[in-house]
C-alpha cells in the first residue's frame, strides 16, 4: 500500500487566534494542493455540563428537547469565522475555500469530517505546561480521533 501525503491543508479556526494561526500555517502552504478553512460548531457547553455532573457523582440531566433555534446562531457564527479566515488567507496571497461542519461539538464535527487526504492545522489552546492536559479539550479530541494527520501549534 502506497502512502501519499495529504492534499489539503485545513486550517481549523475558532475565532480567537485566527490571524496568528494563519501566520503560523503560511510556511506550510506550498506543500499542499489546496488550502481550506474549516470551522466546526455544536453544543460543547452541554457536553461539558454532562461531564461535570458525571465527575461529581450526580446523575446526568435529562437531555433537552431538540432545539433547532440553537443551531442557527452557532452555524452563523461558524460561517462568519470561516469567511474571516478566507479573507485572511487571501490577504496573505493564498486562495482558499471554507467548509463548515456541525456535530455534537466542534471537536467531534472536525474529527469526523477529517480524512487521510486532509491535514488539520490547529492551535493547542492557551494552557501552559506539557503533557496531555497542556492542550484544550477540543484540540485533544481532534488529535486523538482525527481520520488524518494533525499539525498542532502552540501560539
Domain boundary assignment for the chain: 8-56+68-153
* Confidence band, pLDDT 50/70/90 cuts, at residue 150: very high
Residue 22 near residue 47 (C-beta atoms within 8 A): no
Report pLDDT for 42.
81
Give me the CATH topology for the region 8-56+68-153. Answer: Rossmann fold (3.40.50)
Report pLDDT for 5.
75
Report pLDDT for 53.
67
Q: What is the mean pLDDT of residues 119-126?
A: 86
Report pLDDT for 14.
87
Q: Hey, how many other C-beta atoms are within 10 angstroms of the C-beta on 126?
A: 11
Report pLDDT for 110.
93
C-alpha cell at 141: 479530541
Report pLDDT for 28.
93
- Is pLDDT larger for residue 35 or for residue 155? 35
pLDDT at 121 over 80: yes
Q: Hey, how many other C-beta atoms are within 10 angstroms of the C-beta on 51?
A: 12
In angstroms, the CA 18 to CA 23 distance is: 9
Tell me the per-residue pLDDT of 58-115, one tens digit each, with 9 for 90 and over. 766 666 555 554 556 788 889 999 999 999 999 988 889 999 998 878 888 999 999 9
Going from the C-alpha of 115 to that of each of 23, 75, 147, the distances in angstroms are 24, 22, 5
Report pLDDT for 131.
66
pTM above 0.85, yes or no: no
Tell me the per-residue pLDDT of 22-47, one tens digit each, with 9 for 90 and over. 999 999 999 999 999 999 988 766 66
Amino acid at each position: 500500500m502506497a502512502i501519499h501525503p495529504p492534499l489539503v491543508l485545513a486550517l481549523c479556526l475558532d475565532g480567537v487566534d485566527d490571524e496568528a494561526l494563519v501566520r503560523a500555517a503560511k510556511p506550510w502552504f506550498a506543500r499542499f494542493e489546496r488550502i481550506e478553512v474549516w470551522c466546526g460548531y455544536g453544543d460543547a457547553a452541554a457536553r461539558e455540563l454532562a461531564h461535570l455532573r458525571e465527575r461529581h457523582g450526580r446523575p446526568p440531566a435529562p437531555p433537552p428537547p431538540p432545539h433547532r433555534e440553537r443551531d442557527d446562531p452557532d452555524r452563523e457564527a461558524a460561517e462568519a469565522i470561516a469567511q474571516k479566515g478566507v479573507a485572511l488567507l487571501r490577504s496573505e496571497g493564498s486562495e482558499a475555500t471554507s467548509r463548515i461542519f456541525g456535530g455534537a461539538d466542534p471537536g467531534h464535527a472536525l474529527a469526523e469530517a477529517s480524512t487521510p487526504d486532509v491535514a488539520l492545522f490547529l492551535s493547542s489552546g492557551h494552557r501552559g505546561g506539557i503533557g496531555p492536559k497542556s492542550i484544550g479539550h477540543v484540540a485533544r479530541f481532534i488529535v486523538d480521533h482525527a481520520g488524518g494527520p494533525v499539525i498542532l501549534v502552540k501560539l
